[in-house]
């Protein structure tokens, strides 16, 4: 492991520190700053020639700032003659712009992938991409991790019985994810019939599948952004007599009106991971943050040793 070096951008330093603690490695020394005109400055403060370098930098809000910082760091390490450079991107911004859903619009997820590749990244390690096909947007190998084991372990620690749980998909698009969690808990599945009114507004109507009356409803998603969909679904579930409602997501973006919506929604608990740092203003009393540092650390160790990453989930 002596040839392994882990560095962090400014997006989520605590996560990088936790990964280093898990691997029992010191965090790499790097100086990041801003010039008076706002341009990003970067200087690597230790030798990385011939080293296997991992840069931990989720491209979370402010997305453009964090993405540009990642690109500058990648360029710095390539010019410093690192042996292999892996961009560890727990949250990949622009992932929702993965297709042309109308005329004359970009596919920005592909553009962001091109930028990271052209900057010099040899590999990418990502977690719960909004669309799995984004892996194909990169012209370098991508290792795709899932936070499902971390979320499932949290609910299993609550010692809920299978006959009192129902896994709910907040929309039709999340059925595959919900089925995986339902199989894990040996629980029935219910689906919310959601109709999108605009880009940021949805309307939830009916419940299809298992009954939620008197049950503990578990909802899973890859991210909570403005929280409109998940809060609307929670209202429907609550109206149908659910005993308790929990929402779990890998990425807690919580932008725009999300905090106010979650505060007034009928959730017994909201579970997110530390893939994105939560500011104090976004921490609600019923929000629990789980760490994915060990998951990322294990994947980094396997990549460094040229071992299988997919075996982690079998």
Catalytic residues: 194
270 beta partners: 247, 287
Give yes or no for a contact between 42 and 12, defined as CB atoms under 8 angstroms apart: no
CA separation for the pair 230, 265 (Å, rounded) = 9
223 beta partners: 251
Question: Buried b / exposed e across 98-136, counting CB within 10 Å, b at 16+?
Answer: beeeeeeeeeebbebbebbbebbbbbbbbbbbbeeebee
Question: Reduced to 3 states, what is the DSSP secondary structure of residue 46?
Answer: coil
Give yes or no for a contact between 222 and 249, defined as CB atoms under 8 angstroms apart: yes
Work out the number of other CB atoms within 10 angstroms of the CB of residue 88.
29
DSSP codes of every residue in 169-203: ESSGGGHHHHHHHHHHHT--EEEEEEEEEETTEEE
Dig out the tokens for 269 from the structure.
Answer: 């608990």
For 211, list phi and psi in degrees, rounded to 5: -75, 145
CA separation for the pair 2, 251 (Å, rounded) = 32
CA separation for the pair 305, 98 (Å, rounded) = 32
CA separation for the pair 247, 178 (Å, rounded) = 12
Burial of 240: CB neighbours in 10 Å, binned 0-12, 13-18, 19+: middle
DSSP state of 23: H
């Amino acid at each position: 492991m002596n040839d392994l070096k882990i560095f962090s951008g400014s997006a989520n330093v605590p996560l990088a520190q936790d990964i280093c603690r898990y691997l029992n490695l010191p965090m790499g020394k790097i100086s990041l700053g801003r010039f008076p005109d706002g341009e990003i400055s970067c200087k690597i403060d230790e030798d990385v020639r011939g080293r296997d370098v991992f840069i931990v930098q989720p491209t979370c809000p402010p997305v453009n700032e964090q993405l540009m910082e990642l690109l500058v760091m990648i360029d710095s390490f390539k010019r410093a003659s690192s042996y292999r450079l892996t961009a560890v991107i727990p949250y990949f911004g622009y992932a929702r712009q993965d297709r042309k859903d109308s005329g004359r619009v970009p596919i920005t997820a592909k553009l962001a992938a091109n930028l990271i590749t052209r900057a010099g990244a040899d590999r990418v390690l990502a977690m719960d991409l909004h669309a799995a096909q984004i892996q194909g947007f990169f012209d370098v190998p991508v290792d795709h991790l899932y936070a499902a084991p971390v979320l499932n372990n949290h609910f299993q620690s609550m010692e809920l019985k299978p006959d009192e749980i129902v896994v709910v998909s907040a929309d039709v698009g999340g059925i595959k994810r919900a089925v995986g969690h339902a199989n894990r808990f040996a629980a029935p599945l219910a689906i919310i019939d959601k109709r999108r009114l605009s880009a940021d507004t949805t309307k939830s109507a009916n419940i299809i599948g298992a009954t939620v009356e008197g049950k503990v409803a578990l909802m899973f998603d890859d991210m909570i952004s403005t929280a409109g969909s998940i809060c609307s679904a929670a209202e429907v579930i609550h109206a149908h007599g659910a005993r308790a409602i929990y929402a779990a997501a890998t990425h807690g973006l919580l932008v725009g009106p999300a905090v106010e919506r979650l505060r007034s929604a009928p959730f017994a608990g909201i579970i997110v991971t530390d893939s994105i740092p939560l500011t104090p203003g976004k921490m609600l009393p019923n929000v629990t943050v789980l760490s994915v540092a060990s998951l990322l650390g294990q994947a980094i160790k396997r990549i460094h040793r040229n071992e299988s990453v997919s075996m982690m989930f079998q």
